[in-house]
Amino acid sequence: MRALVSVSDKTGIVEFAKELAALGIEIISTGGTYNKLKEAGVPAIEISELTGFPECLDGRVKTLHPMVHAGILAMRSKPEHMKQLADLNIQTIDRATILKEGVTREEAIENIDIGGPTMLRSAAKNYQDVAVVVDPRDYEKVLRELKDKGEVSLDTKFYLMQKVFMHTSNYDTMIADYLKKQRNDYELPETLTMTFEKVQDMRYGENPHQKAAFYREIGKKCGSITDAAQLHGKELSFNNINDTNGALELLKEFTEPTVVACKHGNPCGVGSADNILDAWTKAFEADKVSIYGGIVVVNREVTLALAEEMKKVFLEVIVAPKFEKEALELLNLKKNVRLLELKDIDVPQDEHAYDLKKVNGGLIVQTIDSKLLVEEDIKVVTHRVPTDKEMEDLRFAWKVVKFVKSNGIALAKDKQTVGI
């Protein structure tokens, strides 16, 4: 029995390969994985020994060879396949493990893996005879079955096959998305493919009978809730995440010290001031009732003085770029509040990002609403021209009403909402 082992994510690979070797499985490997196994004393054959052909073109061609793919794709149940292998002196490969990612522009093109995905797809296509592993979390499952039964069950191979096509689809989508951005191509495409990675499973969705999970877009998304570090409290719920995201998007409209309180996806109190404590007072005084059990996001450090005021109110979530040590210690005394630190809280969302809404049987897609207003387009149609102070409050109210659901009305005075 043979296993081809070549990975980018080398988490647990040495231990996995040692266990395979201990079970009498011959290991074939490539490049950095081969060197890592060799350093760890794991017996392995380099791919060029198998193919009789050296890696070439800076490693671009190493596994694209009949000795590899015939060994993977041969159906063991077909005598003619096995006879052909014997005639060609090719041995079967019964397991394959590969994971690779592209990174920066020049490297992305160079590191678009051809042999890896090809081997994965070959192995997955022949799943009844080949166990193909792309996720280190599956190592234990495969080893357990090998030890207990001497083989990997057909059901597990089918499960592993599914993961391969999800993995290669994800990989190709990442490449296509990266190249689209490199070309500054922001047209809505004829076919839309997107990929996300799971952050966590959730206890339930919008209602207790609904299943839910939280996913993040591949790649670093500064200033988004997916980038936040949770410092305290139980895990975020489906509604917590949805409501907090809306509050953060409103907060990003402001540069001065600002506090946004949200309830059920709608802002209920917003205040701006010269300092964050006064901004809190404005947001709280705007609606002392609705803020109860709400989400509060702030764009300045939470000080001890601010934490003392926040502690007087039941809040579900507090998000800030930073918490003073004493403030964090005080708020940690409140068992049910979730505290999130989001260092880049003021970074705006990519103006070319998509806003997606699922409908039955399809999707409606638009670019996000990244514009507030164009000052040059403002026309005064009343007899009296607004004063500078009134225009300041108008701009404040326009920012708020942009994030009010349905037919929005926002009343504001002195950089404080007085009615939404």
Give domain status of residue 197, yes or no. no
> Are residue 12 and residue 155 in the same domain, yes or no?
yes
Amino acid occupying residue 143: L
267 with 357, same domain?
A: yes
User: Does residue 224 sit within a domain?
Assistant: no
Same domain? For 262 and 156 the reply is no
What is the DSSP code (8-state) at residue 43? -
User: Same domain for 176 and 240?
Assistant: no
Q: Is residue 306 one of the residues assigned to a domain? A: yes
Task: Residue 295: give the domain boundaries.
Answer: 230-420
Task: Please say if 264 is a catalytic residue.
Answer: yes
User: 273, 279 in Cβ contact below 8 A?
Assistant: yes
The residue out of 122, 153, 182 marking a domain boundary is 182
Given 100, 141, 221, 264, which residue is catalytic? 264
pTM over 0.85: no
* CA angle, residues 244, 248, 250, in degrees to nearest 5: 120
Q: CATH code at 388?
A: 3.40.140.20
* Residue 85 lies inside a defined structural domain of this protein: yes
Please report which confidence band the pLDDT of residue 3 belongs to, taking 50, 70 and 90 as the band edges. confident
Shared-domain flag, residues 11 and 109 = yes
pLDDT in tens, 230-239: 999 999 999 9
Same domain flag for 130 and 265:
no
* pLDDT tens column, 334-376: 988 999 999 999 888 888 888 889 899 999 998 888 887 778 8
Query: Which amino acid does the sequence have at 276?
Result: I
Has residue 298 been placed in a domain? yes
The tally of domains found in the chain comes to 2
Helix (H, G, I), strand (E, B) or coil at 82: helix
Reported confidence tier of residue 98, pLDDT bands at 50, 70, 90: very low
287, 174: one domain? no
Indicate whether 249 and 169 sit together in one domain. Answer: no
Are residues 150 and 88 part of one domain? yes
Q: Is residue 124 part of a domain?
A: yes
Other beta carbons within 10 Å of 342: 24
- Report the candidate in 94, 126, 108 with the shortest Cα–Cα distance to residue 28: 94
Q: How do residues 24-39 score in pLDDT, each as one tens digit?
A: 887 877 767 777 888 8
Q: Which of 125, 180, 311, 322 is catalytic?
A: 125
Task: Check residue 71 and report its DSSP letter.
Answer: H
| pLDDT of 97 above 90 | no
Residue 411 sits in the same domain as residue 293:
yes
The pair phi, psi for residue 95, each rounded to 5°, is -145, 145
Classify residue 189: in a domain, yes or no. Answer: no
Q: Which of 182, 204, 221 is a domain's end point?
A: 182
- Whether residues 162 and 245 fall in one domain: no
Taking only the tens place, the pLDDT of each residue in 194-225 is 888 888 899 999 999 999 999 988 766 788 89
Does a structural domain hold residue 60? yes
Instruction: Kindly state whether residues 7 and 66 are assigned to the same domain.
Output: yes
133: domain CATH number is: 3.40.50.1380
